[in-house]
Amino acid sequence: MKYKVDENGFYGNFGGAYIPEMLYPNIDELKRNYLEIINSQNFRKDFEKLLSEYVGRPTPLYFAQRLSKKYNTKIYLKREDLCHTGAHKINNTIGQILLAKNLNKKRIIAETGAGQHGVATATVCALMGIDCVIYMGEVDIKRQAPNVARMKMLGAQVREAKSGSKTLKDATNEAMRDWINNPIDTHYIIGSVVGPHPYPDMVTRLQSVISKEVKTQLLEKEGRDYPDYLVACVGGGSNAAGLYYHYLNNEKVKIIAVEAAGKGIDSGESAATIKLGKIGIMHGSKTLLMQNDDGQIIEPYSISAGLDYPGIGPLHSHLYETERAKFVSVNDSEAMDWGLALSQIEGIIPAIETAHAFSILDTMAFKKDDILVFNCSGRGDKDLETYIKYFKL
Ligand SMILES: *Cc1c(COP(=O)(O)O)cnc(C)c1O
């Protein structure tokens, strides 16, 4: 497959495993075992049972009638916002906690920025009765108090990362340090399709349940198992990778990825990694990164904490370079307006991350018979405070 990872962990020019020597044993153990485990019948059985009975899958593929009418095209929403904990992230954490059990790990660590991945990780650790430590930047702990409280309620220990800008990148560094010091009993659950090989491929496969379901659901509703367009927002890229996965080699399906332009591409305050990024190495992977001429990472900005990441998964850099996917960047105000619009047109309050994706309806033209599938990656509850302030509700 043209868009699959090769045995060294590369998607074309991107990916790999650029890690300190101290991490070799951990990464090597994962690399040797992940495919066999996640393809095993036992794993599939446990994974599918939990996705169905605990997460609430399959999530609906909902035909958005009023939105379709307004834009004179056929729009479906893949309702990942209806997953337990409110977003797609739990598909990955359920998979990785089962993998950790298979590898006899007794302890879980994770990084989190906005706290969504931290909550999804703390949730599955509670479910399995496994110790959980979440690393989070000091600044983010202050900004995301409700999610910190959730993680604590779920029994996780939240540790403050006090270095650098005290945000996601620094929390990731702390988590990697912890892993080096605890190589035998600990599994590190990374929250998106980023990090050293095999994480990008592993997380993509776990999230690919999204496109697997879309195929079945579209066949039922439209008599063909593929759409004309797939649309998703991209932070690290996991909900997008999950939506695209089973369609990557079907060139009839056009792929659109939407990244956050913050206050505007040229404002100096954005998270538009593809538009602004240059090739570099961060968190163990070669990919496009927002960096200055000296290779220093530039602090990203977006009103949505989940898209506020200076890198992007190597699969997406490859999809961009090969022009398999079209990348669009959308700024804060466009995304916020769509958060309100989707609420009032369809009765669905989306996460601000998710809202970014819908902006393409204003800038691209579609035919009446085109079938579009948008990934509704998460619900807006967590963003209520931001919506309230922004719209003076
Ligand atoms: C975390 C998050 C994202 C961004 O992460 P990806 O790995 O790019 O999917 C998007 N939407 C929601 C609702 C999130 O919580």
1 pLDDT above the threshold of 70: no
Choosing from 78, 89, 166, 286, the catalytic residue is 89
Q: Answer yes or no: is the C-beta of 233 below 6 A from any ligand 1 atom.
A: yes
55 pLDDT above the threshold of 80: yes
Residue 89 a catalytic site member: yes
Amino acid in the structure at residue 365 = A
Q: Answer yes or no: is the C-beta of 113 below 6 A from any ligand 1 atom.
A: no
Mean pLDDT of 332-349: 98
Percent of the chain with pLDDT over 70: 100
pLDDT tens, 279-291?
Answer: 999 999 999 999 9
How far is the C-alpha of 372 from the C-alpha of 77, rounded, in Å? 8
Q: Judge contact between 169 and 217, C-beta under 8 A.
A: no
Query: pLDDT category, 80, cuts 50, 70, 90?
Result: very high
Q: Answer yes or no: is the C-beta of 350 below 6 A from any ligand 1 atom.
A: no
| Residue-wise DSSP of 38-106 | HHSHHHHHHHHHHIIIII-PSPPEEE-HHHHHHHTSEEEEE-GGGSGGGBTHHHHHHHHHHHHHHTT--
213 pLDDT above the threshold of 90: yes
Amino acid in the structure at residue 141 = I
How far is the C-alpha of 148 from the C-alpha of 155, rounded, in Å? 11
Mean pLDDT of the residues in the chain: 96
Q: Residue 315 has what pLDDT?
A: 98
List where CATH 3.40.50.1100 sits in the chain.
Answer: 10-50+89-203, 56-86+207-391
How far is the C-alpha of 338 from the C-alpha of 195, rounded, in Å? 31
CATH topology for 10-50+89-203 is Rossmann fold (3.40.50)
Q: Residue 385 has what pLDDT?
A: 92
How far is the C-alpha of 353 from the C-alpha of 332, rounded, in Å? 10
Mean pLDDT of 264-282: 93
Residues in the chain: 393
User: 260 - beta bridge partners?
Assistant: 330
Q: Tell me which DSSP letter residue 368 carries.
A: T
Q: Judge contact between 356 and 258, C-beta under 8 A.
A: yes
Which of 239, 256, 312, 317 is the best mutation target for the ligand 1 pocket, counting ligand atoms within 8 Å of the beta carbon and taking the most? 239
Mean pLDDT of 43-65: 98
CATH of domain 56-86+207-391: 3.40.50.1100
Mean pLDDT of 143-163: 95
How far is the C-alpha of 276 from the C-alpha of 271, rounded, in Å? 8
Q: Answer yes or no: is the C-beta of 306 below 6 A from any ligand 1 atom.
A: yes
Q: Answer yes or no: is the C-beta of 137 below 6 A from any ligand 1 atom.
A: no
Q: Residue 63 has what pLDDT?
A: 98
Percent of the chain with pLDDT over 90: 91
How far is the C-alpha of 390 from the C-alpha of 345, rounded, in Å? 19
Query: pLDDT category, 305, cuts 50, 70, 90?
Result: confident
Q: Residue 354 has what pLDDT?
A: 98
Residues 6+ apart with CB under 8 A from 49: none
77 pLDDT above the threshold of 70: yes
Mean pLDDT of 310-320: 96
Q: Residue 81 has what pLDDT?
A: 98
Stretch (H or E) spanning 282: strand 278-282
pTM for the complete prediction?
0.97
pLDDT tens, 119-147?
Answer: 999 999 999 999 999 999 998 998 889 99
Kindly report which listed range (2-6, 72-76, 206-210, 240-244) carries the lowest average pLDDT score.
Answer: 2-6
Query: pLDDT category, 165, cuts 50, 70, 90?
Result: confident
Residue ID of nearest Cα to ligand 1 atom 3: 306
Strand order in the sheet with 325-331: 61-63, 74-78, 371-375, 229-233, 254-262, 325-331
* CA 354 to ligand 1: nearest atom: 11
How far is the C-alpha of 377 from the C-alpha of 357, rounded, in Å? 10
214 pLDDT above the threshold of 80: yes
Strand order in the sheet with 186-188: 157-161, 131-137, 107-112, 186-188
Residue ID of nearest Cα to ligand 1 atom 2: 306
Query: pLDDT category, 306, cuts 50, 70, 90?
Result: confident
